[in-house]
Amino acid sequence: MGQVLLNAETNSGNPSVALNAGWTLEQRDTMLAARSRTFIDTHNFIWSRTKEFQIPTMLISSSDMSTINDWWRTVKVLDFTLNSSEATTVKVQLMHSQLPVAQFDPPYRDKFRATLLLRAIDNSDFGANP
């Protein structure tokens, strides 16, 4: 189990959020495709590679829950750091279809748990091919 640090990119006094990550943190490579149609009706595909992170978290305070949910509502770009032997900061966005943090963490009535879904938006940190 490690600690995850999320911080909003802007310098407008946004707080950092330090979360306790579960043992099953996942990192995946993902291929994204964009399709366009030309004037002569042919299709062009533009492929890109990115990273996605699935991070189970627990014991999230109500203030951190509000901050994370606000970042999701406003589609903030976040700096993501996994505190490990090689601490690398990556720019990410929350990729949830619903509020990311909305479930109590039993037996606590003032703590929450969630599985955060993050997608890297800057591949340069991973040595991705341009």
CB 83 within 8 A of CB 77: no
What confidence tens digit (pLDDT) does each residue in 81-124 have? 876 666 678 889 999 889 999 899 889 889 999 999 998 886 54
Please report whether residue 120 resides in a domain. Answer: yes
**pLDDT for residue 128 is more than 50:** no
Which runs of consecutive H residues, i.e. helices, occur in the chain? 62-73
Please report whether residue 99 resides in a domain. Answer: yes
At 90, which CATH number? 2.40.30
Task: Name the domain count of the chain.
Answer: 1
**pLDDT for residue 11 is more than 60:** no
Determine the 3-state secondary structure of 38 from DSSP: coil
For residues 65-90, average pLDDT: 83
**pLDDT for residue 76 is more than 50:** yes
Range of the domain at 27: 3-125
